[in-house]
Every structure is written in C-alpha cells, then in structure tokens.
Amino acid sequence: MIEIRELHKYFGEVKAVNGISFTVQKGEIFGFLGPNGAGKSTTIRCLMDFIRPTSGSLTIAGLDAQRDSVAIKRKVGYVSPDVHLYPHWTGKQHLDFVERLNSGGSWRKELVKRFSLKETVRAKNLSSGNKQKLGLILAMMGKPELLILDEPTVALDPLLQNLFYESLKTYQQEGGTVFISSHNLSEIERICDRVAIIRQGKLADVDNVATLRKRKMHMVTLRLAGKAAMPDPTEFGKVEIISRGSDQLTFRYTGEINDLVKRLARYEIADLEIAHASLEDVFLEFYKN
C-alpha cells in the first residue's frame, strides 16, 4: 500500500530524513515510531505531497506521491497532530462538507455516536481533544483505503484513545490499512502489527511488534517490607541497576515481565513500581552501536 525508497529530505543543513526505505502491506496497522524530531512528520508530509523530497521515491497503492497526488487524496484519510478546522463552522458543517467532498460518509453516524461528538459546537469553541476527535472522524468516515495518521492521539484522553484504537481495529477488519506515527512505544505495541523505528532521520529497524515486545524493557522500583535483605537483581535476568539504597532498589529489566513477577513473589514487598522504559532507553540499549 505504501512504498518508500531511499527517501532523503534536507532542510538546509538539517538532514530531517536521511535515506529511509520501507513498505507497508495492504491490511496492516503499521507504526512509525521515533522520538520527537526523528523525521516522522517530514516523511508523512512527503507522502502527502505537502513538501517535496530532496531525493527518493514514494508511492501509495502504486501511485506516485507527487505525480498522482490528487488521485491519492481520494484514497487516503489524513490526520495531522494539530487538526486544522474552520473556526466558525460547527462539527456538523465540517461533517457535511467532507461528506459531499469525498466519497460519502458511510461510517459517519457510527463514529459520531461512538465518540459522542457534539455536532452543534463551533470548532473555535472545541477543546484540543475534541478538535482531534472531530479530525479523526472526518478522516475515517468515508472509509478510505488508507489512513495516514501523524501522532493522532496526543490530545486525546485515555478513554478517547481506547475508543480510537477500537475504531482502528474495526477499520482494519473491514480491509483498511493504517500508517500511524507515534513517539509512544506502548501505543504502537498495543495496536500495530509491524513497526519502523526512526531515529535522527535514519531507520533503526523494521520489525514485527511481537519481536519488539521480546526486547521489552521496564524500569522497576522495589521497596521491601521490614528489614529483609535486598535481593541481588542480577539473579532476575538481564538487569542494569540504576540506584540502590538500604530499602529501595531501582533497575532496568529486559525480558518477560511475567518471569520477573514470579521471581519477586518470594520477597515481602512494601511497594513495587513497574513502568515501561522510555523509548530513548530502548534505543540506547538496542541501537547504541
């Protein structure tokens, strides 16, 4: 559905995208993961023909991103991180407009209901989360062949995020393809089949999410009850100690969380915190070379 070959995009001295290639298959939810400034939006803006690449080729459904950009727009639903709306128009006016402009709105009613969109409010009076919600409905309601989503969940609260993930799964079941960028590893892990990891304009990896999950890292902070001796965390598996006090231990753990919890069950624990390691930590661990 998407084919990117040797894409370079320079802004003067800044090599925003520096020679990336990958393909997205029809029917998959494909994540484009990387920290802020990695080159995700630049790649997406080239795909949408909002900006032109320095070199390289991009195709969508076999169509050239530049030459066939109008035809591509008919097949694609796009959401930017900052949704642009007509301030004086209500949600309904936006929905009516896009329904007439595009290939209809076969999914409109269901999405408006699912997301509880208040259609009568003018865009200028919507919160950023509600603007993003409206942007997502506008992109999805015509059931396009492909959804290109650039950090679509930044303004959504967790409840709305879940509704959105469910809608993406429904869309996929009906044959749709999703290309979604994010700096949020857990989001990508949760919804995507495959992922391309970009860092400083270069691809670090393209992998199945199942494989990525095996490399999963967590930050673990453990406080023991009473005067029990601190465990030696290296016995838990692949561990890097971050700090060790008399009753508190913080370490980075790479491996199955289930194994770790089983090993910790032997101890009298006063408090335990297990968080996803930041994407930066994952990068540092796996791509430092």
**Residue ranges binding ligand ADP (CB under 6 A):** 11, 14, 16, 34, 36-42
Nearer to ligand ADP, 177 or 182 (CB): 182
Least separation in angstroms between residue 32's CB and ligand ADP is: 9
Nearer to ligand ADP, 9 or 252 (CB): 9
Nearer to ligand ADP, 82 or 271 (CB): 82
**DSSP β-ladder status, 2-11 and 14-24:** antiparallel
Nearer to ligand ADP, 11 or 287 (CB): 11
Least separation in angstroms between residue 188's CB and ligand ADP is: 13
Least separation in angstroms between residue 16's CB and ligand ADP is: 3
Least separation in angstroms between residue 37's CB and ligand ADP is: 4
Sheet holding 202-208, edge to edge: 76-79, 146-150, 177-182, 29-33, 194-199, 202-208
Least separation in angstroms between residue 30's CB and ligand ADP is: 16
Least separation in angstroms between residue 48's CB and ligand ADP is: 13
Nearer to ligand ADP, 18 or 221 (CB): 18
